[in-house]
Amino acid sequence: MTIIEKARQFVESECFKPTSKYGSGPYVEHFLPMVKHSKKLSSKLGGNLEVILIAAWLHDIGSIVIGRKDHHITSAKIAKKFLTENNFDPEKTKLVLDCIRNHRQSTELDQKTLEEKIIADADAICNFDMLPGLFYASMVVEKLTPVEAAKSVKAKLQNKWRRLHFKESRELTRGKYQAAMLLLEEITKL
């Protein structure tokens, strides 16, 4: 079994545990699309596909096991333990951990390598695939009104769009971004 398959199985197992902070939903709603977008971007841009796919699987594992706060840091710690236990190459482990630590576009992290930028963009692209998740976080977790949530979601999507690194990322997302902005513009006028 490859290390990529082991990472997939590990994430799936953690998502389906009763202790998962978000239940099993993120496996299908976020991790699978994350891997899909990472593969697409890597096929167009290059990079070490093994590093990219492992990082795609493990980038949010801290959210599942511990919780959302500082999940880029907790995910890297969990990933390091997982990769060490599976005797993964130390140099590649460092690349995977850098991808995980720097995947959040909502922070002022500086993605340096192609692999880091691909992971950050793929994660951002996933937001355009799952607008209900953004509304859930805004309305249920943050306890915003529907109009406040629409304003918050609009601002998050605009920020994610602005921070995409590649024209290929924008090409994958353009139609969804334009549709979301059209819809959210109407709601935020209320």
What's the pLDDT at 66? Answer: 87
Q: Which two tokens stand for residue 20?
A: 């998962």
Residue-wise pLDDT tens digits, 132-182: 888 887 888 789 999 999 999 999 999 999 999 999 999 999 999 999 999
Mean of all residue pLDDT scores within the chain:
91
Quote the pLDDT of residue 52: 98
Query: Average pLDDT, stretch 42-70?
Result: 93
Report the domain count for the chain.
Answer: 1
155: domain CATH number is 1.10.3210.10
The four Cα atoms 182, 144, 70, 9 give a dihedral, to 10 degrees, of: -70
59-68, 110-119, 125-134, 166-175: which has the highest mean pLDDT?
166-175
Stretch 20-36: mean pLDDT: 90
Rounded average pLDDT over 58-77: 89
Q: CB burial class (10 A; 0-12, 13-18, 19+) of residue 69?
A: exposed
Domain hosting residue 164, numbered range: 3-188
Evaluate whether 122 touches 37 at the Cβ level (below 8 Å).
yes
Identify how many contiguous H helices and E strands the chain contains and give both numbers. Answer: 11, 0
Burial class (CB in 10 A: 0-12, 13-18, 19+), 40: middle
Per-residue confidence (pLDDT) for residue 109, from 0 to 100: 60
- pTM beyond cutoff 0.85: yes
Whether 190 shows a pLDDT value over 70: the answer reads no
